[in-house]
Amino acid sequence: MQAAAPIVQFGHVRKQFAGRPVLDGISFTIRRGEFACLLGPSGCGKSTTLRMIGGLLREFEGSVLVEGTRPEDRWRSLAFVFQSPRLVHWRTALDNVAFGLELREPGMRAEERRRAALQYLVMMGLALDAGKYPAHLSGGERQRVAFARALAVDPALILMDEPFSDLDVNTRERLRDQVITIWQATGKTIVFVTHDVDEAVYLADRIFVFSRKPTQILRILDVGRPRPRDLERDPALAELRREVRALFATQREPPHGFPSAGDGQPPEPAGPRGRGSWSGPAPRLGG
Amino acid sequence: MARLKELSSPEERWGASGPAGSSGAGRLRRTAQERIATDVIPALILLAWYLASFRAPEYVLPNPLSVILLTLQLLADPALFHHTYISLGRVIAAVLIALLLGSSLVLLARYAPLARGFIVRRLLPFLNAFPTLGWAILAVYWFGVSDPSAIFVEVAILLPFSMITMWEGMKALDEETLEMAWSFTRNRWIILRKVIFPLLLPYIFAVLRISYGVAWKVALIAELFGSSVGLGYLLNYSRNQFNSPMLFGTILVIIVLVYLMDRLGFEPLERRMMKYRAEAQAGPPHV
Ligand SMILES: Nc1ncnc2c1ncn2[C@@H]1O[C@H](COP(=O)(O)OP(=O)(O)O)[C@@H](O)[C@H]1O
Ligand SMILES: [Mg+2]
């Protein structure tokens, strides 16, 4: 498995919704095994981009290739972790983890599925919660179940769409470390969407910075710092963070005097979710 | 967010499981006063009926003992019980046919936009408005006096109930859950079985319960015209003969059958099929 081989390729991808351009000619390549962060303001088309990779959105201009072919033929190579856990409420944590396998490999024996599911639950530190229903799990636990569900189908590529943005700061920071640990242990490719500068700097091998819509790629940044990272102590990371923030500042005021980032979008809810994101003050990381 | 989603699950929106929990009427703890209201009042009414029956002519108010005797005969006496079980069989067949047909039509409406307008805007209002008596008379013209004739009328009346309820269920299907499922498989059949069916289960039970009660009301009219056997036929027969105990007994046997089906059929089945609910409510939800 050569590290530099491309796993996802976008070539001049454009996408409109109801005549309004969202993606305005996007080209980039994600390498096998890397941790890629797509960073951009709310509503710029990050989820749309992930859907295209996942073959869930098939109408667009330009070319999207996953492992060299059409995404709709490669759905077996990847799994999603969404912003909300999307667990099914009638199944326990264990059976939710097994659910992805059950959908993907209906021929597999139930016992075998559950054994695999348990292994990933244990990996996520949820062995004692296997029998609990989602209603009895905390937000962070649910999201870990969702992550285990994605891991259980053993995909080459995991697509994570702002998976921690609904969680409190402490949980978020713990889960970031957990994702890094598992990524390092499994060698999978992760495409991680976020609108949080610090999160991208903390996690990514490379950061793909998206502009406001109509969206283009502003810059692709190599982070290239060892892990575990500390944004406060590592001057290179601090510098990188400054650079990305500056890049964002140019994106804050839209041209032609339109209201900022929202652009017809409902505003982001206030509260912990807004912290450390696009325009807010950054929380301390890793301290 | 996940929490909000749970709160808007169909049962809760329908208010079936209020703050007191969804243990159902069957497991309500009864206080002494409630016991009096529930059981003693009917007993007193029965007693009053018994006493009054000595003063009234039999065709106005038959002796409750002979009514109960006839009810028992209708359930257990081979000379009579075929009327009961044939009606019951027709009702059950009609309920199941209407559920399957209604669900299929509504699934078709959801997944074949071409058919949607016809099914939802033409067929549904048409069936909903069509009078029972109209179907009953037409069924005799079309099918003669026969089993299919009675079942046809019952299905025709039940169909709009099942279509409306199942259509509401389809509209309430959680798009995010469906997208999650779609990201794990491209097999529509598996998604239908493992995701859509469980999501629709509360609606299916609603259809069954409503249909079973309505089907009995319709069955009598259907059998009055289109059958030479069954409780509807018996009702008509006793009317002609001024056989008042038989008339009352027929009515009572239907009440008994509807009640028993609810308590011994639907309630345990629902509890079994939605076991997760009881288990998910075993402890206080995590905040
Ligand atoms: N199915 C859709 N129909 C119409 N507009 C959509 C649809 N999906 C996304 N959009 C629009 O496309 C833009 C980008 O959406 P999205 O990819 O969800 O943004 P992000 O994930 O970066 O916040 C938004 O303006 C959104 O309203
Ligand atoms: Mg998004």
| ipTM, interface predicted TM-score of the complex | 0.86
Burial (Cβ within 10 Å: 0-12, 13-18, ≥19) of residue B192: middle
So what's the pLDDT on residue B61?
87
Are A192 and A36 a contacting pair, CB within 8 Å? yes
Contacts of A192 (CB under 8 A, 6+ apart): A35, A36, A37, A38, A160, A163, A179, A200, A203, A204
DSSP E strand boundaries for B138-179 = none
Which of A193, A148, A146, A159 shows the shortest CA–CA distance to A79?
Answer: A159
**Partner-chain contact A136 B285, CB within 8 Å:** yes
Q: Note whether residue A217 is domain-resident.
A: yes
DSSP state of B21: -
Residue B179 and residue A134: Cβ atoms within 8 Å? no
Which chain A residues contact residue B277 at CB under 8 A?
Answer: 90
- Alpha carbon B264 to chain centroid distance? 13
pLDDT score of A268 more than 70? no
Q: Which residues pair with A6 in a beta bridge?
A: A31
Write down the residue that tokens 């999501």 correspond to: B199
Q: Which atom of ligand 1 is nearest to the CA of A50?
A: 17
User: Is residue B178 assigned to a domain?
Assistant: yes
CA distance A255 to chain B (A): 33
Q: How far apart are CA A231 and CA A112, in angstroms?
A: 42
Total domains present in chain B? 1
The pocket of ion ligand 2, defined by CB under 5 A, consists of: A 47
DSSP B38: I
Cβ burial, residue A170 (10 Å; 0-12/13-18/19+) = exposed
Task: Determine, yes or no, domain membership for B247.
Answer: yes
Q: Does residue A277 sit within a domain?
A: no
Query: In which residue are the tokens 């990847």 written?
Result: A78
| pLDDT, position B147 | 86
Angle at which helices A139-152 and A110-123 pack, to 10 degrees? Answer: 130
- Classify residue B204: in a domain, yes or no: yes
Q: Which residue blocks in chain A are alpha helix, DSSP H?
A: 46-53, 93-104, 110-123, 139-152, 169-186, 197-203, 235-252
Tell whether B264 is covered by a domain.
yes
Strand partners, A193: A38, A161
User: Where does residue A168 fall: left (phi above 0), alpha (psi -120 to 50 degrees), or beta otherwise?
Assistant: beta
A220 lies in some domain: yes
Instruction: Categorise residue A212: left if φ over 0, alpha if ψ from -120 to 50, beta otherwise.
Output: beta
**Atom 3 in ligand 1: which residue has the minimum CA distance?**
A17
Query: Is B187's CB within 8 Å of A106's CB?
Result: yes
**pTM: predicted TM-score of the whole model, two decimal places:** 0.82
Number of other residues whose CB lies within 10 A of the CB of residue A108: 13
Pocket of ligand 1 (CB under 6 A): A 17-18, 22, 40, 42-48, 265
Interface test with A, best of B6, B180, B274, B277 (most A CBs within 10 A): B180
What pLDDT, in 10s, does the model give residues A152-208?
A: 999 999 999 999 999 999 999 999 999 999 999 999 999 999 999 999 999 999 999
In this prediction, residues A89-116 reach a mean pLDDT of 96
Q: Residue length, chain A?
A: 287
Residue bearing the CA closest to ligand 1, atom 2: A17
Which numbered ligand comes closest to the C-alpha of A51? 1
Total residue length of chain B: 287
pLDDT tier for residue B275 given thresholds of 50, 70 and 90 = confident
Which of B184, B190, B205 has the most A C-beta neighbours within 10 Å, making it the best mutation to test the interface with A?
B184
pLDDT, residue A234, reads: 94
From the list B6, B194, B286, the residue facing A89 with the nearest CB is B6
User: The domain containing residue A64 runs over which residues?
Assistant: 6-86+157-265
The DSSP element (H or E) to which B225 belongs, if any, is helix B197-226
> Does pLDDT of A35 surpass 70?
yes
- Are B216 and B250 within 8 A, CB to CB? no
Asked whether residue A168 is assigned to any structural domain, the reply reads: yes
Q: Which of A84, A103, A139 sits opposite B184 (nearest CB)?
A: A103
Specify the DSSP element, H or E, that contains B262.
Answer: none
Domain that holds residue B161: 84-269
Question: Judging by beta carbons within 10 Å of its beta carbon (0-12, 13-18, 19+), is residue A221 exposed, middle or buried?
Answer: buried
If you average pLDDT over every residue of chain A, what do you get? 88
- Nearest C-alpha neighbor of A39 from the set A262, A238, A256, A195: A195
Residue A284 lies in a domain: no
CATH number at residue A242: 3.40.50.300
CB contact under 8 A, B198 and A90: yes
The count of structural domains within chain A is 1
Of A244-258, B47-61, B65-79, B235-249, the poorest mean pLDDT is in A244-258
Residue B64 maps to a domain: no
Residue B220 pLDDT grade (very low, low, confident, very high; cuts 50, 70, 90):
confident
Whether residue B224 has pLDDT greater than 90: no
- CATH (domain of B145): 1.10.3720.10
